[in-house]
A and B are shown apart, each in its own frame.
Chain A
Amino acid sequence: MGDHHHGPAAGITRWLFTTNHKDIGTMYLWFSFAMFLLGGFFAMVIRAELFQPGMQLVEPAFFNQMTTLHGLVMVFGAIMPSFVGLANWLIPMMIGAPDMALPRMNNWSFWILPPAFLMLASTLFMEGGAPAFGWTFYAPLSTTYAPPSVTFFIFAIHILGVSSIMGSINIIATVMNMRAPGMTYMKMPLFVWTWLITAFLLVAVMPVLAGAVTMMLMDIHFGTSFFSAAGGGDPVLFQHIFWFFGHPEVYIIILPAFGVVSQIIPAFSRKPLFGYASMVYATASIAFLSFIVWAHHMYTVGMPVAGELFFMYATMLIAVPTGVKVFNWITTMWRGSLSFETPMLFCIGFLILFTLGGFTGLMLSIAPADFQYHDTYFVVAHFHYVMVAGAVFSMTAAVYYWLPKWCGRMYNEAMGKTHFWISFIGFNITFFPQHFVGLAGMPRRIPDYALQFADFNMMSSIGAFIYGASQLLFLYNVIATIVAGKPVSDEKVWDGAEGLEWTLPTPAPYHTFEEPPQVPKPAGTI
């Protein structure tokens, strides 16, 4: 109705009824931060219990609920929605589109998330407690031995899946259909590329997860025997299906992070990204390989040797495209005119720590060695190096990098750098010692441990409290920026930034690119 050059509606309906990609992106980002704090709180309970050997604070059953919910909330509530929020804000601005392709469905994908997590969190207060079978919910722990609240967990997963599928379809349609004239595929910013590929992964594997939880539901309530050997099924089948979803899922989490880093490192190196085309091909290769490596999560389950070998070699192949990426990021910085603002610091932190996590991943990929590492704290250390120092660091970098563009105000640089250093140090104090206790044999997901692990666990807990506290500084910095940050009005907030979003006014107006821009022939990339 009427002309299109209006601002947002007033009041709560702006957020409830919005079809604007920036509003929806903002809601995703705030929601994911709230979930980050909730999942972080669960982590603090875990680390407080593990501060000393022996039972300290919570019952073992409750401890299991904490590890389960911590994983679920962080993966599905914090990391995934945060990158969807980033995609919503940035993809239309990066490809010169007026909005996402299907704006009302976009709003729906967001709004089903909060009730789903409310339902999931409410299981804590149900009879029998919350799900306590780990975020991987292996059968029969999640079927025969599950608390009744598992039904609510199953439906929460269904809703998250619906949300992810709709969100990804929207992103695919936007990228394929809404690019401005001249914005060819090989001119798209790498963040758009990584999200396009991530969206394909999501559309392919979220239905698989839905199928897995549906079979659980049938086993629990309708007497089927998919995951019960007594009826001719197989609990190991659950693991295969789960990891057929689960391995692409870890790339769903990390590929957008790669995209973010590929935007930020060139900006603060004041050089175009090195090897743009190889970055695209490497991303696609990682996505393809992610479908044929799932069983490396289950080497010890008793697979035939041929299976172990296939999955071992296929997994090792992933190091090749990932190596290409790390090489390209470093080469982008090589002889660049570097400066070290907060986003760049987080990206360099990402680069170092993610690579470390990649190396431990390579160690874990070796099937015979994995028999020693399997389900120990070494695995916990590995995936926190790639999930936290990988995904969360790059997400933090993204917020510092684009926040001035979003709200027209500059964050406090000193506070940002402080946040980085406390995070970096706290993170390493938390997770580096876990490599040692893991290699020495401390199993994951237990509330108590042998005395020889006491010192490293205490270090880990202290580091976790430091890392957790530093996120409050981040929250304060972001709010202070939005409320009273120093105004910026340059279109290019960062002098090295490239891309269509930096041609827009600062702060970005409510509606942008209602007329698609003509993308010039020589693009920012080679």
Chain B
Amino acid sequence: MSSTTSAPAGHEKYYVPESSSLAVRATIGLVLSVFGAALMLNDMTFGDPDRSSASVWVLTTGLVFFIFTLTSWFRTAIRENLAGMNSSQLHQSYVLGMFWFIFSEVMFFAVFFGTLLYVRQFAGPWLAGEGDGGRMNGLLWPGFEFAWPPVITPQEIVGGADAQVIANNGAFVSQEKSMAPADAHAWYAWLPMWNTIILLSSSATVHVAHTAILSGDRKKFNRWLGITVGLALIFLGLQAAEYYEAYVLFGLTLNSGIYGSTFFMLTGFHGFHVAMGMTMLLIQLIRSMKNKHFTATDHFGFEASSWYWHFVDVVWVFLFLFVYIL
């Protein structure tokens, strides 16, 4: 099999995999996906409805191929670990890889939080004529006043998209109600509060699962990991309800100006990450239940997923603070 055991005392031999087709297959999947997505979006926006069905197929094929490749990639890595090829040094490479991956995700979310901060602290007041940046207000958006959540877009103040003197990306119609607690019809109907409770609890439950596997208690591990996945599912369900409420009842859409833009960008990417994290945890649960993977000392797949889950949780805390409350 491998010569990993023949290393001299003092050093474990670092496992360098032989040549592998995984990377090229993943490339094909990824590139097909984004190429299909670009085709589809362009058909959608710049109009050629005849072609759009074909481009959806390019996207779907790419995604399916990509997911299959990633699955077999992870399967390969798991098998190598079970075959004893992974030294503690390789394990450390995986730890570093996961840590810096999460750091890159933090920076990705930082852009959208930064956008929210910039709009609320600088761009908004300037549009309303305040301070150093406000000199163009009288010329472009006379009468616009800034508030958060905004009650009206600058475009609406001047009479809508058609009346706007400079080119625009379409009509921006402000929402009727925002997602702030004041706009909920009762305190218990304010979904973000429930979602905060759910997500914080799930961080605790995944931690209980972690302590369980550390003491080798598989039954307890499965139970608490299962509860975590369940909580994640409830969170996503409530978020779907929230989006329905926003779009249908509150008139809050992607076209609602900067409030809708930042709201859906931040909560949407967070929701996507919750879905990813849930999938990761679910896979670990299946591995544990079906294949009896993970021991008290060897459970990196779960550990990495749980770090990711805690990260998603921390992002939510900031979301709750800056998007919903403040």
Enumerate chain A interface residues (CB-CB to B < 8 A). Answer: 1-4, 9, 13-14, 16-20, 97-99, 101-105, 107-108, 111-112, 115-116, 119, 140, 143-145, 148, 151-152, 154-155, 158-159, 162, 165, 168-170, 172-174, 176-178, 203-208, 210-212, 215, 217-226, 228-234, 236-237, 240-241, 244, 302-305, 511, 514-516
Contact = CB atoms under 8 A, between A and B. Distances in A.
A232 B127 contact: yes
A511 B16 CA distance: 10
A514 B4 CA distance: 11
Interface in B16-66: 16-24, 26-27, 30-31, 34-35, 37-38, 41-42, 44-46
A232 B20 CA distance: 50
17 contacts: A3-B3, A16-B21, A16-B24, A17-B23, A19-B20, A99-B14, A115-B27, A119-B38, A151-B41, A168-B100, A176-B96, A211-B111, A223-B170, A231-B155, A232-B119, A233-B119, A241-B114
Nearest to B92: A177
A112 B25 CA distance: 10
Contacts of B105: 207
Contacts of A16: 21, 24
Interface stretch (B199-207, B228-236, B253-261, B293-301): B253-261
Nearest to B164: A230
B27 A226 contact: no
Nearest to B157: A230
A221 B47 CA distance: 11
Most buried by A among B107, B172, B253, B265: B107
B23 A232 contact: no
A233 B103 contact: no
**Interface range, B side:** 35 or more
B20 to A, nearest CB: 5
Given A169-B101, A223-B170, A228-B169, A304 B133 contact: yes
Interface string B167-185: 1111010000000000000
A203 B101 CA distance: 8
Nearest to B44: A221
A89 to B, nearest CB: 16
Interface of B: 1-3, 7-8, 11, 13-14, 16-24, 26-27, 30-31, 34-35, 37-38, 41-42, 44-46, 73, 89-90, 92-94, 96-97, 100-101, 103-105, 107-108, 110-112, 114-115, 118-119, 122-124, 126-127, 131-133, 140-141, 146, 150, 153-155, 161, 164, 166-170, 172, 253-262, 264-265
A515 B45 contact: no
Given A215-B115, A218-B261, A230 B19 contact: no
Contacts of A154: 38
Given A173-B93, A215-B265, A107 B119 contact: no
Contacts of A305: 132
Contacts of A231: 153-155, 169, 172, 255-258, 261
A112 B28 CA distance: 8
Given A19-B18, A103-B17, A173-B97, A230 B172 contact: yes
A173 B95 CA distance: 9
A519 to B, nearest CB: 14
B167 A219 contact: no
B172 A158 contact: no
A232 B259 contact: yes
Contacts of A208: 107-108, 110-111
A152 B169 contact: no
Contact of A108 (B27, B101, B123, B255): B27
A515 B13 CA distance: 7
A216 B315 CA distance: 23
Nearest to A165: B104
B26 A108 contact: yes
A516 B20 CA distance: 24
B153 A230 contact: yes
A151 B38 contact: yes
Given A115-B31, A140-B167, A148 B261 contact: no
B14 A98 contact: yes
Given A107-B23, A207-B104, A225 B34 contact: no
Contacts of A99: 14, 16
A17 B17 contact: no
Contacts of A140: 167, 169
A274 to B, nearest CB: 32
Nearest to A202: B104
Contact of A172 (B100, B140, B141, B259): B100
A2 B132 CA distance: 70
A111 B262 CA distance: 34
Contact of B24 (A111, A170, A244): A111
Contact of A17 (B16, B20, B140): B20
A212 B112 CA distance: 9
A19 B19 contact: yes
B11 A223 contact: no
Nearest to A232: B258
Given A1-B18, A177-B93, 11 more contacts: A4-B16, A103-B16, A143-B169, A172-B96, A177-B89, A230-B172, A236-B123, A237-B119, A237-B123, A241-B114, A304-B131
A279 to B, nearest CB: 24
B118 A237 contact: yes
A17 B96 contact: no
Contact of A241 (B115, B259, B262): B115
B30 A112 contact: yes
B49 to A, nearest CB: 15
Given A207-B104, A226-B258, A237-B119, A102 B97 contact: yes
Nearest to A241: B111
A476 to B, nearest CB: 31
